[in-house]
Chain A
């Protein structure tokens, strides 16, 4: 299909929408399914206009049952389709947890590679939008802990455009995390003729010398803001957007930490047994003698997600990240 090259400034929501559209144009086996993804275009409008252009057979408004959505997507994948399912909010993924963890994740393994599961499970994740409970969760570690799944998180409009297409093209099931508070926030210039980085790669998004900040999804913006603020105090912080959580792409992380000697991980998810714990362990194993300070973690507290009026206290922000930077540099 002929492709129009654009160089517009777009939001993350638009980038994802354009990426989905292009994937559907490129491969007739790509289906979109979920609650309200059709006429409404999704509660965040990520699938806006897709049903109108690709029809109800390819953009499927599903009954309101998450296990049903993922479970039927398993059957569609077994039949040769590439379903992209939308879980409306992070907190609603748990009814589908069995299908994702027991069925989706294991199908390729238990069938000795005969049955592929090229499925993308899109989950708007994280807080900061003033929502009621169960709408601001960060469940990534639970999926990254599950062999057979791949887990990625986009942080910006350009990555949203490319990563969703790459995830759809992947023959393995991908849990695709989208920072919902970024959907309609910052715009970036998209060049659809560019060559994207590989899906399962991390990226240095700001160079620095004194410490390395590791972030993904919504906290990439926080980390960049922290690095900018720190530069005013003569501190040069490197920021890495991890992008892929399973597998982890440790090479750029290790290279950076060997240079800076310090690493601070920040995510919205609870710190206990979160991605930061795994990153700290791997950094310690691989560059113990380069470390000038323990790897520190700045994340959500080990409480249920609080009422939205105090969610900013729960979420890692610029000050809490800089506080950790201080502790690392003072160690």
Chain B
């Protein structure tokens, strides 16, 4: 039905709100662990790849569980949990090549894992000893960005740099590169994210906009951010959008890999909406019981990203109990290392706050630092 010349009814075009992701959802592994197929994004996975995904997700969840516990014990000031989003992050992270570059939010612990960032370094930010201590250039993984959506522009600019460096569309798989910008459903409302879409489309930049729609921006549901499925927005900006089951690591991998390849080949940006659910709180300071129903959480538990892979692996004889036990042992070791390492992290020294404000320190800042050092020394002298 037409709205008096304003085009068709939105519900007719986009369909009613679909709490299960709707018919467009790309899925290769059902919540029950059944392998399905897709006309565009299907591919074969080796046993080793499947076990690798499973291992990554189990260990990532362990990092999250340990960090949450460390916050409860007062060892971290805060922690942004990724519980439930393991498949989205491992699928996206494993689709990367070494030369690709990632711009994360503050929740991309699984992608960080795939990029070889020591999870202990993630804890430093949340413990309050630094603002992120990994080297972005070493891992091709940027520092966590706290201001929502700002990094989407950085990703686009970085991709524009790749174009100028001649590492897009050469046909050399070891050379061609692309960027992934991570953000969430809440960030999709930010001006910076929308400006990033505009710039990326305008310059045909090799960037994949990877949106984990976990249904919640702290207390605000996706309906507060968008009247239409997020992936549909991409069309209006002039590039393709795909909605993938973000709890299906195989589908997320396949879709992200295809989007990255498209970008590397010089075909421009893609929007990937990984449809998932934030099983935990926004952060450890949040209380989701104030704004959402436990029924919803229970329903999403049935779509757990890890258990469906375990069912598939066991049913097809790709793992046995011994392998699972060994992985549990590895997770326990990782957990112990994180607990001990976190508690052993030294606090920064007071004068460290003055370091690296500028590449070339100013005289006035040097004077402030020296003045404060002299002031601190008066206490040491008094204490003698």
Q: Which of A's residues lie within 8 Å of B, judged by CB?
A: 31, 57, 62-63, 65, 67-68, 70-81, 95, 98-99, 102-103, 106, 108-116, 118, 147-148, 150, 170-172, 200, 246-248, 250
Contacts and interface: CB of A to CB of B under 8 A. Distances in A.
A108 B356 contact: yes
A59 B131 CA distance: 34
B266 to A, nearest CB: 14
Interface in B137-167: 137, 142-143, 147, 150, 152-165
Contacts of A74: 153-154, 157
B357 A148 contact: yes
A109 B354 CA distance: 9
Interface stretch (B49-57, B84-92, B290-298, B359-367): B359-367
Given A72-B160, A171-B360, A200-B362, A78 B154 contact: yes
A81 B201 CA distance: 21
10 contacts: A71-B150, A71-B156, A74-B153, A74-B157, A75-B160, A76-B157, A76-B161, A77-B157, A80-B161, A113-B356
Nearest to A247: B362
A251 to B, nearest CB: 9
Nearest to A70: B153
Given A75-B160, A109-B356, 10 more contacts: A65-B191, A65-B195, A67-B192, A71-B157, A72-B199, A99-B192, A112-B133, A113-B356, A246-B362, A247-B364
Nearest to B158: A75
A153 to B, nearest CB: 16
Nearest to B154: A75
Interface residues of B, number: 43
B148 to A, nearest CB: 10
A171 B359 contact: yes
Nearest to B156: A72
A286 to B, nearest CB: 11
Given A68-B153, A108-B358, A111-B136, A98 B147 contact: yes
Nearest to B146: A102
A62 to B, nearest CB: 7
A112 B154 CA distance: 18
The winner among A79, A108, A147 for most chain B CB atoms within 10 A is: A79
Given A81-B161, A102-B147, A111-B143, A71 B195 contact: yes
B347 interface: no
B280 interface: no
A114 B137 CA distance: 8
- 7 closest A-B pairs by CB: A75-B157, A71-B153, A79-B161, A72-B157, A68-B195, A110-B131, A171-B359
A79 B165 contact: yes
B193 to A, nearest CB: 10
Nearest to B145: A103
B376 interface: no
A75 B153 contact: yes
Contacts of A75: 103, 153-161
A2 B125 CA distance: 49
Contacts of A77: 157
Nearest to A71: B153
B130 interface: yes
A239 to B, nearest CB: 23
B157 A67 contact: no
A148 B196 CA distance: 24
Contacts of A98: 147, 150, 192
A184 B89 CA distance: 54
A111 B192 CA distance: 22
A86 to B, nearest CB: 16
Given A74-B153, A103-B150, A109 B136 contact: no
Contact of A112 (B158, B163, B199, B355): B355
A199 to B, nearest CB: 10
B22 to A, nearest CB: 31
The winner among B136, B156, B157 for most chain A CB atoms within 10 A is: B157
The winner among B132, B150, B356 for most chain A CB atoms within 10 A is: B356
A172 B358 contact: yes
A70 B153 CA distance: 8
The winner among B153, B191, B360, B364 for most chain A CB atoms within 10 A is: B153
B180 to A, nearest CB: 13
A106 B133 CA distance: 14
A68 B193 CA distance: 9
A61 B3 CA distance: 38
A246 B130 CA distance: 25
B364 A248 contact: yes
Contacts of A68: 153, 192, 195-196, 198-199
Contacts of B189: none
Given A67-B195, A78-B142, A247-B365, A116 B161 contact: no
Given A78-B136, A102-B150, A112-B356, A71 B192 contact: yes
A234 to B, nearest CB: 37
B370 interface: no
Nearest to A111: B143
A162 B103 CA distance: 36
A108 to B, nearest CB: 6
A65 B199 contact: yes
Contacts of A113: 355-356, 359
B355 A103 contact: no
Contacts of A246: 362
Nearest to A65: B195
B135 interface: yes
Contact of B157 (A79, A110, A116, A248): A79
A76 B161 CA distance: 5
B170 interface: no
Given A68-B198, A148-B357, A110 B132 contact: yes
A109 to B, nearest CB: 5
Interface in B316-362: 355-360, 362
Given A67-B191, A108-B356, A76 B160 contact: yes
Nearest to A62: B199
A67 B192 CA distance: 7
Contacts of B364: 247-248, 250
B202 interface: yes
A107 to B, nearest CB: 8
A78 B102 CA distance: 12
Contacts of B143: 110-111, 115
Contacts of B195: 63, 65, 67-68, 71
Contacts of B358: 108, 148, 150, 172
